[in-house]
Structures are given as structure tokens and as C-alpha cells.
Structure 1
């Protein structure tokens, strides 16, 4: 299994971010923060020509379940979605929760990881 789920989008980076933010609400997720790496690197004096934005997204109820089961797994939170340009094309990429949670021995968390991943992939597919 791939560590990521990546799709192309014909939308602009900003429109993709806006649409993802809205569509994530349908599955109880919100955007905690969006990191703009082009801007961050530029502020550090480094040139980075392509857009690269990292969305930190979270469902508070699911995060609570993970943290209560194993506080160390908080290091894997929040879920991360990248929206970026490469070779003049735009992409949406999800770090698969099942890959991240595969380190957990709790079967309930693995099931939750699959549910989370399925919902996030559906949102990405509907947004692209």
C-alpha cells in the first residue's frame, strides 16, 4: 500500500484549499492550519518556485479517541493534506492515516484509521 493518496486537480491551489476546507466539514473535519511553504521558505531567504501548502486537518472526536487510547499516538495527529504544484500541474496528496496508525496494536484504532482514510479520500476525490 502507498503511504499517500495523490490525485491531480485542474483547480488553482487557492480554490482547491477553499473547496477542501468546505468539503471536510461534511465528515466532521476542520482545518487547524494551512502552512504555505513557498512563503515560509521565502521568509528564510530560500527560493522555492512552486506552490506547496500543507493543510493540518482534524476531527476533534476522533482525535480524542486516539489520544485516550494512546497519548503517544498524538504525535501522528493531525491528518495532513498537501496541495501543491509540480511540473505546472496541481495535486492533492493525503498522508494515509492507516499507514501512520499501522504502528498501533489496538484493533479499534486500525478500524478508525480505515474509516478516517475512507472519508478523507472521498472528500479529496469530490474536490479534485
Structure 2
């Protein structure tokens, strides 16, 4: 099992903003709100004058699942929210990737939490597949 759920969209890198918009829409359709957003390209340019390809980190949260997880294992907060990243790779394709909750949360060794992680994993996997479908 991989630590990430990912798709590489073989489309023009100039469509980065469009991919970001579709990603936000698909996540919202699946119950996720975006709590945090980091434009790594902008931050690294500003802080250390480094130039990188476009790279966004979206902190996605599905409140009902987050609530259940926090009640079960308060330490889960160190793994929340689910980060979804969008970046341009060296082949000038756009990659959308999300943390695999089943893998990430397995370190806490809670059967109840694993059940929640399995559900969230299914939703994120379906979301990534839907993003891929929209650009195929």
C-alpha cells in the first residue's frame, strides 16, 4: 500500500489553476472543506528566493470524520487535516496527490480509527479518480 493516492494528469501545465479549481470542487462535493492553503512556490520564493515549479498544498477536512477521529484518538490532530497537493512535475504534467489515511493513521494502532481511515481513504481515492476522469 502506498502512502499517497495520486494521479498524473498529462495535460498542459498552463492548466494548473483549472486543476486546482476542479480539485477544490471535487473535494467539496465529497464533504471536504479547505482549512489551509499553502502556495509553496510563492512561500519559498519570498522566504529564500528559491524558484520551484507550481506547488499547492490544500489542507482538506471532512468534519464528521475529523470529529469521530478526534473523539477516539485525540493525538490524531497531528495528522489532520488531510493534505492534498497539486504540483507541476519535471515532465510538465500536473500531479494531484493525497495522503493515504489508512497508511498514515495505522501508526496509531486503533481498530476504530482504522475503520474511519478506510472510509476516508475510499472517499479520497474516489475524489482523485474523479479529478482524473474530468481531465481524460
Same fold flag (TM > 0.5):
yes
2:93 pairs, out of 89, 95, 109, with: 89
What SS does the aligned partner of 1:48 have?
Answer: coil
CA distance in 2, matches of 1:91, 1:105: 30
Distance in 1 separating the partners of 2:109 and 2:7: 30
Structure 1 residue 105 corresponds to structure 2 residue 124: no
Task: With the length of structure 1 as denominator, give the TM-score of the two structures.
Answer: 0.93
Provide, for residues 75-109 of structure 1, a one-character-per-residue CA deviation record: whole Å limited to 9, x for no partner.
00000111001111110111111111101222121
CA–CA distance in structure 2, aligned partners of residues 23 and 7 of structure 1: 14
TM-score (normalizing by structure 2): 0.88
Structure 1 partner of 2:123:
119
Displacement after TM superposition at 1:64 (Å): 0.9
Give 5+ residue unaligned stretches, structure 1.
Answer: none
Per the alignment, residue 31 of structure 1 pairs with 34
Equivalence map 1:43-82=2 (5 Å): 43-82=46-85
The number of residue pairs the alignment matches comes to 128
How far did 1:17 drift?
A: 1.4
* Greater share of residues in helix: 2
1:8 counterpart = 2:12: no
Task: Write the distance in 2 (CA, Å) between the matches of 1:73 and 1:97.
Answer: 11
The answer (yes or no) to whether the contact 2:5–2:128 under 8 Å persists in 1 is: no
- Which moves more between the two structures, 79-88 or 98-107? 98-107
